[in-house]
Amino acid sequence: MAVGEVEKPNIENEVRTLKLSGHVGFDSLPDQLVSKSVQNGFNFNIMCIGETGLGKSTLMDSLFNTNFESTPSPHSLPTVKLKAHTYELQESNVRLKLTIVDTVGYGDQINKEDSFKAIVDYIDAQFENYLQEELKIKRSLCTYHDNRIHACLYFICPTGHGLKSIDLVCMKKLDQKVNIIPIIAKADTISKNELQKFKSKIISELQNNGVQIYAFPVDDETVSEVNTTMNSHIPFAVVGSTDFVRVANKMVRARQYPWGTVQVENEGHCDFVKLREMLIRTNMEDMREKTHGLHYELFRKKRLEQMGFSDVDADNKPISFQQTFETKRCNHLQELQQKEDEMRQMFVVRVKEKEAELKEAEKELHAKFDKLKKDHTDDKKKLEDNRKKLEDEIVEFNRRKQQYATMATTHHTLTLGKSKKK
């Protein structure tokens, strides 16, 4: 058995269908689920991508029927910055922790090529944070503040001319990471005839460039009909406003112009209600699920592969996480051992080299010492000889001196004798 492999018990895997003779009670499971979810509360994270002044903040206020008190951003930022704000909202007994992420400065730079980078990094960072929490020994996913983006509203400029290159590039970079819902911003600035053509143009451009946008799910019977209809209205053309106007004795969100009033929630005026219906009332849970089951799953797969994990080994045979880990650990230990051996061998060689060097130096020193000793002996001998010679010379000198002295005395005596004779 390979390392880490667990012996599987031999269980017969046959499922039989049985009838209950009376009420047991597990039909309350869906209710238990609802009750638990309501108790825990929900969270939903929206990212708004679009140029400054396209009405992102106004639309958020309109969608959640509140005032998020966002401050208008300038057009002078040198880079795109992502700003997230989290709010606690409550409707009936359902609590929603809502995070709105704004792409401040998007499209404001002269060089718009890198506008998407900060956004991609932000989305990946939220996935990475979740993965790190998941990989912890002691995880707290229940209380973890999940910041992964569930819905990305992409605000398209109402030019009537189709998408800008920044739109296509950015959406293409994001379509495997997040549920993209493209919307036409400030739709009151575009005429009804132009709008239809504009929508078709946008859809065909997205298709031609292979950009995958979020489609409302049609596999659930209860919503398949409405979702199918709504899918044909994408991209929704929306209007937002923070102003209220009295219409038929009711205060409604609207934009007032000299020639008339655009009501945000009037389906004849724009697709705002469709967007709210799809985003909040019908498909919020689907977007949360797709984020976790599709986009995060893809991120997780890539990251784990990057770390060297795989579901199959080199021979395409299934391999468990633990087996991969053990193999990696073994390889790592072997590598370490090999490195240690190499270092030890190198050390031995170096020691030998140093020893040889030292021996050589010692030999040289000995030779030098011997030479010095010999020189010293030679010098000493020379000196000794010289001394002897000198001593001999002194003796000789003294002998001669003596001789001369004797000779001188004799001569003097002789001379004196002669003079006496005279």
| Least Å from the CB of residue 179 to Mg ion | 21
Using CB under 5 A as the binding rule, whether residue 58 contacts Mg ion is answered as: no
Tell me how many helices (H) and strands (E) the chain has: 10, 9
Task: Give the H or E element holding residue 100.
Answer: strand 94-104
Candidate list 43, 45, 58, 227; residue touching ligand GDP; CB under 6 A: 58
Q: Name which of 186 and 199 has its Cβ closer to ligand GDP.
A: 186
Scanning the structure block, which residue is given the tokens 């994990």? 309
Using CB under 6 A as the binding rule, whether residue 55 contacts ligand GDP is answered as: yes
Chain-centroid distance of CA 192 in Å reads 45
Q: Which residue type occupies 292?
A: H
| Least Å from the CB of residue 90 to ligand GDP | 24
Q: Helices 297-306 & 115-135, crossing angle to 10 degrees?
A: 80
CA 123, CA 262: separation in Å to the nearest integer?
35
Q: Name which of 155 and 214 has its Cβ closer to Mg ion.
A: 155
Region from 48-56, 109-117, 195-203, 333-341 binding Mg ion, contact rule CB under 5 A: 48-56
Q: For CA atoms 213, 188, 265, 225, give the dihedral sign.
A: negative
Using CB under 6 A as the binding rule, whether residue 52 contacts ligand GDP is answered as: yes
- Say if residues 227 and 218 touch (Cβ distance below 8 Å): yes
Say which entry of ligand GDP, Mg ion, none residue 240 contacts (CB below 5 to 8 A, set by partner kind): ligand GDP
Q: Which residue is nearest to Mg ion (CB)?
A: 57
| Tokens read off for 286 | 């689907």
Q: Name which of 106 and 127 has its Cβ closer to Mg ion.
A: 106
List strand residue ranges (DSSP E) for 175-237, in order. Answer: 180-184, 236-237
- Say if residues 131 and 299 touch (Cβ distance below 8 Å): yes
- Say if residues 50 and 154 touch (Cβ distance below 8 Å): yes
Helix (H, G, I), strand (E, B) or coil at 104: strand
| Least Å from the CB of residue 212 to ligand GDP | 25
Say which entry of Mg ion, ligand GDP, none residue 282 contacts (CB below 5 to 8 A, set by partner kind): none
- Say if residues 239 and 186 touch (Cβ distance below 8 Å): yes
| Least Å from the CB of residue 158 to ligand GDP | 8
Binding mask of the shown chain, residues 332 to 371, with x at each position contacting ligand GDP by CB under 6 A:
----------------------------------------
Q: Name which of 253 and 290 has its Cβ closer to ligand GDP.
A: 253
Using CB under 6 A as the binding rule, whether residue 57 contacts ligand GDP is answered as: yes
Using CB under 6 A as the binding rule, whether residue 56 contacts ligand GDP is answered as: yes
Using CB under 6 A as the binding rule, whether residue 53 contacts ligand GDP is answered as: yes
Scanning the structure block, which residue is given the tokens 């001394």? 387
Region from 8-16, 20-28, 53-61, 313-321 binding ligand GDP, contact rule CB under 6 A: 53-61
CA 392, CA 396: separation in Å to the nearest integer?
6
Task: Give the H or E element holding residue 45.
Answer: strand 42-49
Using CB under 6 A as the binding rule, whether residue 231 contacts ligand GDP is answered as: no
Q: Which residue is nearest to ligand GDP (CB)?
A: 55
Binding mask of the shown chain, residues 249 to 268, with x at each position contacting ligand GDP by CB under 6 A:
------x-------------
| Least Å from the CB of residue 8 to ligand GDP | 57
DSSP assignment letter at 336: H
| Least Å from the CB of residue 71 to Mg ion | 8
Candidate list 107, 182, 235, 240; residue touching ligand GDP; CB under 6 A: 240
Helix (H, G, I), strand (E, B) or coil at 154: strand
Instruction: Give the count of residues interacting with ligand GDP (CB under 6 A).
Output: 16
Candidate list 148, 150, 177, 186; residue touching ligand GDP; CB under 6 A: 186
CA 46, CA 84: separation in Å to the nearest integer?
9
What distances in angstroms separate CA 186 from CA 153, 176, 255, 410, one per listed residue?
14, 27, 11, 154
Region from 55-63, 79-87, 116-124, 136-144 binding Mg ion, contact rule CB under 5 A: 55-63
> In sequence order, which residues have a C-beta less than 8 Å from that of residue 308 and are 6 or more positions away?
324, 328
Candidate list 43, 45, 57, 99; residue touching Mg ion; CB under 5 A: 57
Candidate list 9, 25, 30, 72; residue touching ligand GDP; CB under 6 A: 72
CA 127, CA 255: separation in Å to the nearest integer?
39
Q: Name which of 75 and 380 has its Cβ closer to ligand GDP.
A: 75
Q: Which of 143, 155, 165 is nearest to 97 (CA)?
A: 143
Which positions lie near Mg ion, rule CB under 5 A?
56-57
Which positions lie near ligand GDP, rule CB under 6 A?
50, 52-58, 72-73, 186, 188-189, 239-240, 255
